[in-house]
Amino acid sequence: MNTPLRLSQEPVSPTIEAAAAHAEDISNAFRDLQIVLPPETIVRRDEPLARRTTLRVGGPADLFIEPSSDNALASALEIAHLRSIPLFLLGRGSNLLVRDGGIRGMVLSLAHPHFSRIELKGQRITAGAGARLKSIAHEARRAGLGGVEFFEGIPGCLGGALRMNAGAMGAWTFDTVEELRCMSPSGQILTLPAQEVPVEYRACPLLRTHIALGAVFRGRPDDAEVIRAKMEQFSKKRWTSQPNQPSAGCTFKNPQPTLPAGRLLDELGLKGARVGDAMVSDVHANFFVNLGQARASDILELIEQVRTRARELRGIELETEVEIVGEDA
The model's pLDDT over 193-208, given as tens digits with 9 standing for 90+, comes to 999 999 988 889 999 9
Q: What is the pLDDT of residue 1?
A: 34
Domains contained in the chain, number: 3
pTM of the model: 0.86
Residue where a domain terminates, one of 197, 226, 255: 226
**pLDDT the model gives residue 58:** 96
CATH number, residue 274: 3.90.78.10
Assess whether 252 and 317 both reside in one domain: yes
Q: Are 107 and 65 in contact (CB under 8 A)?
A: yes
Q: How far apart are CA 6 and CA 62, in angstroms?
A: 15
133 and 195, same domain (yes or no) = yes
Domain assignment present for 63: yes
Within a domain: 8: no
Same domain as 121, residue 108:
no
Q: Please identify, among 174, 194, 226, the residue that sits at the C-terminal boundary of a domain.
A: 226
Query: What are the residue ranges in the chain where pLDDT is below 50?
Result: 1-4, 6-9
Asked whether residue 191 falls in the same domain as residue 125, the answer is yes
pLDDT digits (tens, 9 = 90+) for 62-88: 999 999 999 999 999 999 999 999 999
| Amino acid type, 165 | N
What pLDDT score does 213 carry?
98
Q: Are 108 and 143 found together in one domain?
A: no
The answer to whether residues 122 and 104 belong to one domain is no
Q: What's the pLDDT at 8?
A: 46
Whether 92 and 35 map to the same domain: the answer is yes
Which CATH number goes with the domain that contains 82?
3.30.43.10
The verdict on residue 9 lying in a domain is no
189 in the same domain as 146: yes
| C-alpha to C-alpha distance for 202 and 168, rounded to whole angstroms | 11
List the domain range (segments joined by +) for residue 171.
116-226
Question: Are 145 and 130 part of one and the same domain?
Answer: yes
